[in-house]
DNA sequence: AAGGCGTGGTC
DNA sequence: TGACCAAGCCT
């Protein structure tokens, strides 16, 4: 009979193997009584939503250096925050980050709520993030369930019900294991285990602290779990981007509406993205079509973006968008698909 | 409540 | 090289 897994085994593993991350308080500082800063934990957790640690690190450093406290962030300009988030993806997170910072600053005197329920009421904080911040920053015994935890639980219990159907069951399994002591470290330990040992493909079961109690290890099914419902294939859409450069070097740009794809971000005026985009330039000019197109894949479709360029005189008024002069424009302020179009146009 | 919502790395 | 994957949230 297998013995059931224990949180203590995992905590011991974590104490030996915890990865250093900019938002984590190291063991030395922890011994000196340093507690995690809720603002930094919240910031890191929002950035980590559906995003890898490697991608997040530099953004986290930039954000926390530029806006050291939630009150600083609450006072930031929308455009500055969106520009700083450019390239990280899922831009609704940036809009909600600001909304949340302003709610904390204005409605909570600049202090984060210290319970899962309180956190859950804030913009951009869902079940995962609320539990993570409550556990890691406030040491509350909340159960954190992300993709890692789902995978670890599915294997530990050899659960073959596919996701997302299995989610409630996996959540119960995770809750049954959550300890009263060091719940924050435990939450991070399960996620570290999933990220480094209990990986989606080729799990390193030989190194796993939970190998003995693992039902999937015993059954030889670990690499097949968790099962997932098949995904739809992505359609391909076509579009046109118009990159107009004024003779003084200014570029014609447009702020996208808050709702929808790339909401709130700066971008090039363009056509709709669909089967047959209509040629509808944002300013009267001699437009030139570039020989290459920008290709980009979003969550639910592939895009082939035709790029058109034009050089326009100083006195020509745009139909859509605004000219942004050089010192005020950096291509790094653009979402990646727009930067790809710029890279094609800039040396043409 | 199922689908919209980014990006870069990996195989 | 195309499909899958990553510390989800919102509507």
Structure tokens at A186: 């435990």
Q: Which residues from 205-234 of A have any strand C atom under 7 Å from their CB?
A: 228, 230-231, 233-234
- Nucleotides of strand C within 7 Å of the protein's CB atoms: 3-10
A278 CA, C8 C1': Å apart: 35
| CATH code for the domain defined by A236-346 | 3.90.79.10
* Helix ranges, A68-111 (H): 70-74, 78-85, 92-107
Query: Using CB atoms within 10 A of its CB, is residue A242 exposed (0-12), middle (13-18) or buried (19+)?
Result: buried
Report the distance separating Cα A167 and Cα A155, nearest Å. Answer: 13
Query: Which nucleotide across the nucleic acid strands is nearest to A44, CA versus C1'?
Result: C7
Give the pLDDT score at A153.
97
Could you tell me the CA-to-CA distances from A17 to A26, A155, A189 in Å, in that order? 12, 21, 9
Dihedral pair phi/psi, residue A115, rounded to 5°: -125, 155
Rounded average pLDDT per 10-residue block, chain A, 348 residues: 87 93 91 95 97 96 98 98 98 98 98 98 97 97 96 96 93 96 95 95 95 96 92 92 97 96 98 95 98 95 97 97 96 97 90
Delimit the domains of chain A by residue range. 7-224, 236-346
Dihedral pair phi/psi, residue A67, rounded to 5°: -130, 85
Q: Which of A193, A202, A260, A218 is nearest to A14 (CA)?
A: A193
Write the class of the CATH domain A7-224: mainly alpha
Give the pLDDT score at A4.
85
Report the distance separating Cα A268 and Cα A231, nearest Å. Answer: 31
DSSP A220: T
Report the distance separating Cα A132 and Cα A268, nearest Å. Answer: 37
Give the pLDDT score at A27.
84
Report the run of H or E that residue A293 belongs to, with start and end: strand A288-297
Contact A254, A267 (CB under 8 A): yes
A129-A89-A18 Cα angle (round to 5): 50
A36 CA, C1 C1': Å apart: 43
Give the pLDDT score at A110.
98
DSSP A254: E
Q: Is A87 within 7 A of strand B by CB distance?
A: yes
Q: Is A337 within 7 A of strand B by CB distance?
A: yes
Active site annotation includes A45: yes
A247 CA, C8 C1': Å apart: 44
A128 CA, C3 C1': Å apart: 27
pLDDT, tens only, A255-272: 999 999 999 999 999 999
Q: Is A300 within 7 A of strand B by CB distance?
A: yes
Residue nearest to nucleotide C7 (CA to C1'): A48
Give the pLDDT score at A313.
98
From the CB of residue A241, how many other CB atoms can be counted at a distance below 10 Å?
26
Given 3-state DSSP classes, what are the helix, strand and coil percentages for chain A, each rounded to the nearest 5?
A: 45, 15, 45
Letter string b/e over residues A296-320, b meaning 16 or more CB atoms within 10 A of that residue's CB: beeeeeebebbbbbbebeeeeebee
Structure tokens at A36: 């995690």
Q: Which residues from 277-296 of A have any strand B atom under 7 Å from their CB?
A: 296
Residue nearest to nucleotide B6 (CA to C1'): A89
Give the pLDDT score at A99.
98
């Amino acid at each position: 009979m297998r013995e059931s897994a224990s949180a203590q085994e995992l905590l011991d593993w974590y104490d030996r193997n915890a990865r250093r991350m900019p938002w984590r308080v190291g063991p030395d500082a922890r011994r000196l009584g340093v507690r995690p800063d809720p603002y930094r934990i919240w910031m890191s957790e929002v950035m980590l939503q559906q995003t890898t640690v490697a991608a997040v690190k530099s953004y986290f450093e930039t954000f926390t250096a530029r806006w050291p406290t939630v009150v600083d962030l609450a006072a930031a300009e929308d455009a500055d925050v969106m520009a700083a988030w450019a390239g990280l993806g899922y831009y609704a997170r940036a809009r909600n980050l600001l909304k949340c910072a302003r709610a904390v600053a204005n409605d909570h005197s600049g202090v984060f709520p210290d319970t899962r329920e309180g956190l859950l009421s804030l913009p951009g904080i869902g079940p995962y993030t609320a539990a993570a911040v409550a556990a890691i920053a406030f040491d509350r015994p909340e159960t954190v369930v992300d993709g890692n935890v789902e995978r670890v639980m599915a294997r530990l219990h050899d659960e073959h019900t596919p996701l997302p159907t299995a989610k409630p069951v996996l959540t119960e399994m995770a809750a049954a294991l959550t300890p009263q002591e060091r719940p924050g470290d435990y939450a991070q330990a399960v996620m570290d285990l999933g990220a480094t040992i209990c990986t989606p493909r080729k799990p390193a079961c030989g190194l796993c602290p939970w190998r003995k109690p693992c039902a999937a290890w015993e059954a030889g099914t670990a690499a097949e779990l968790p099962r997932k419902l098949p995904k739809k294939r992505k359609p391909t859409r076509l579009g046109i981007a118009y990159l107009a450069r004024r003779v003084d070097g200014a570029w014609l740009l447009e702020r996208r509406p808050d709702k929808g794809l790339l909401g709130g971000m700066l971008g090039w005026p363009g056509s709709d993205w669909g089967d047959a985009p209509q040629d509808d330039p944002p300013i009267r000019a001699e437009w030139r079509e570039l020989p290459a197109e920008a290709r980009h894949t979003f969550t639910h479709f592939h895009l082939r973006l035709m790029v058109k360029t034009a050089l326009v005189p100083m006195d020509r008024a745009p139909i859509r968008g605004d000219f942004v002069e050089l010192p005020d424009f950096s291509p790094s302020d653009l979402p990646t698909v727009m930067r790809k179009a710029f890279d094609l146009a800039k040396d043409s």
